[in-house]
Structure 1
Amino acid sequence: MTRVGYVFDNANPHSGEQHRCIATAHDAMTTERLAATGVADGWCCLDVGTGGGTIARWLADRVAPTGSVLATDVTPVDVGGHPNLTAAVHDITADPLPDEHFDLVVVRLLLQHLPERDAVVAKLVRALKPGGWLQIEEFDTSYEPVLLTPDERSARLYEKFLAAKKTLMRRAGADPEWGRRAARVMSAAGLVDIDPRPYVRPRHPESADLLLQVHHTYHLRDGLLSVGMTDEELAEVRAVMRDPSFRASSSLMYSVQGRKELA
């Protein structure tokens, strides 16, 4: 999703790789959790900030032949042709949603970037039918330790890169640790049966999660330079992350489900 202040601009030529890395790293977890809601033929679903559209397409297959999926973003997106899937330009912070309309709403890696995140959660809850499900997935980057690098300088450089990303995001109004707070916000909005689950993955040179970090050195290059990194440091940290010996932990990804009470 692209908006004023959002650091991962869909108009950036690197955005396609951003979506591919996220899908490879996280789609299996996201779809496993969605399947547990019982989503099936006839459900009406909303995918907010759809990005590359992989989750919207998965949902469209699940709700076929009589259900529907609406995939939204603030810029036009190509989610591919599917008879049960519609894409729409929509700003979740400003544009309306129908009340009590959706059986399932999913929003992944978006709300941490929106200063209005709590109000958006309340809007999404209003858009659920009684008994409907909301699934929110967000990072908590307070935990993503480096575990093994070629030398101590490499470890410090990697940590500097992660810190620069957090500074850049906070400057744009994001909260890179919001994942840990999502469950409480959902509870305050009136949902029940809330189930927050933390996920963590190893980062190594072949892992999609680490490839996403390498990608960020390109996608966020201008912003990273503006908060104190240099092109030489970015080139060096890429080499660190590509070293066969490199090992780190991912940040925590919280996948949180909650249900709207039946009327």
Structure 2
Amino acid sequence: MTRQNRVAASDYVFDNDGDHSADQHRYLAELLDPLTFERLAQTGVTAGWNCLEVGAGGGSVALWLAGRVAPDGRVLATDIKPGLIQARPGLTVVRHDIVRDPLPEGEFDLVHARLVLSHLSDRRRVLARLRTALRPGGWLQVDEIDITRWVAPPLPGARARNVYGVYTSTMARMLAAAGSDPTWGGVAAREIAEAGFTDVDPVRWTETWGHGSAGIGLLVSNSHHLEDRLLEAGMTLDLLHEVREIMADPGFTAPSFAIHSILARRSAEG
């Protein structure tokens, strides 16, 4: 086990310095980018816009935005550990804590955050800060998950069903213990409206993950990335090895968690 994979290495569960971070962000991009880009395009984002990408992770969304706003627009990509984000003209990458570090006010045409706010305990305060960072009439897009109805797949044999169920339930319990809320996507639209945003437009997406899919790849990657935390939360190495074998079976399929993508605006009156 390398030093960056130890639980104490970061307060954030999915540490960008972990050995499996690149895989995690690659699978997330493959899984989520199509929906994220479709929704972002609905804002009309185009050349000359000024955009903020919060918690940019691997940088795929920031790079897409930079291409849309070129040549005269700019994208500010922030992360507490931004080392995975590739630089390019029109894209500024900075180390930034959205909870504590200052943001310019009334500057951005579009703010996007994906799988960020669910990991923050003070989401209402962060939403207020994001609203203030937008110009009047500017757009917010928040993409989050909800595992409330994330049911176990119809696996053959009680043992396989139980092992997979232990894995997903332990992960949910571990995330909650670390201060994350993997169900927050289900109430995100309501909290965004309560934060003063207007024109709140949520969509919910699910699919079935099959062998070789980004979703299964993400689950397997997470079992490695979060191994120390899963063990602390009660799993054993034998169970982790077993669930990896189950998920590697060519016949394995599993329902996805729900993805919620919410568009909203700061009112034109401010």
TM-score normalised by the chain length of structure 2:
0.94
User: How far is the alpha carbon of 1:78 from its aligned partner?
Assistant: 4.1
Aligned to 1:253: 259
Residues 128-158 of structure 1, C-alpha deviation per residue, up to 9 Å, x if partnerless? 0011000001110112222332311101110
Aligned to 1:109: 115
- Aligned equivalents of 1:53, 1:67: Cα separation in 2: 17
User: How far is the alpha carbon of 1:109 from its aligned partner?
Assistant: 0.6
- Aligned equivalents of 1:150, 1:66: Cα separation in 2: 56
TM-score normalised by the chain length of structure 1:
0.97
Residues 172-223 of structure 1, C-alpha deviation per residue, up to 9 Å, x if partnerless? 1111100011111111111111011001121222110111001111000000
Percent identical among aligned pairs is 45
Q: Would the aligned equivalents of 1:56 and 1:71 in 2 still touch at CA under 8 Å?
A: yes
Secondary structure at 1:148 match in 2: coil
Aligned to 1:133: 139
User: How far is the alpha carbon of 1:5 from its aligned partner?
Assistant: 2.6
User: How far is the alpha carbon of 1:116 from its aligned partner?
Assistant: 1.2
The residue type equivalent to 1:45 in the other structure is C
The residue type equivalent to 2:36 in the other structure is T
The residue type equivalent to 2:211 in the other structure is P
- Aligned equivalents of 2:266, 2:174: Cα separation in 1: 35
Aligned to 2:92: 86
Aligned to 1:69: 75
Aligned to 1:234: 240
The 1:159–1:78 alpha-carbon spacing in structure 2 relative to 1, beyond 3 Å, is closer
- Aligned equivalents of 2:57, 2:84: Cα separation in 1: 9
Secondary structure at 1:258 match in 2: strand
Aligned to 1:42: 48
Aligned to 1:22: 28
User: How far is the alpha carbon of 1:79 from its aligned partner?
Assistant: 2.4
Aligned to 2:3: none
- Aligned equivalents of 1:178, 1:169: Cα separation in 2: 12
- Which ranges in structure 1 are unaligned for 5 or more consecutive residues? none
- Which ranges in structure 2 are unaligned for 5 or more consecutive residues? 1-8
Secondary structure at 2:153 match in 1: strand
Secondary structure at 1:146 match in 2: coil
Task: Count residues with an aligned counterpart.
Answer: 261
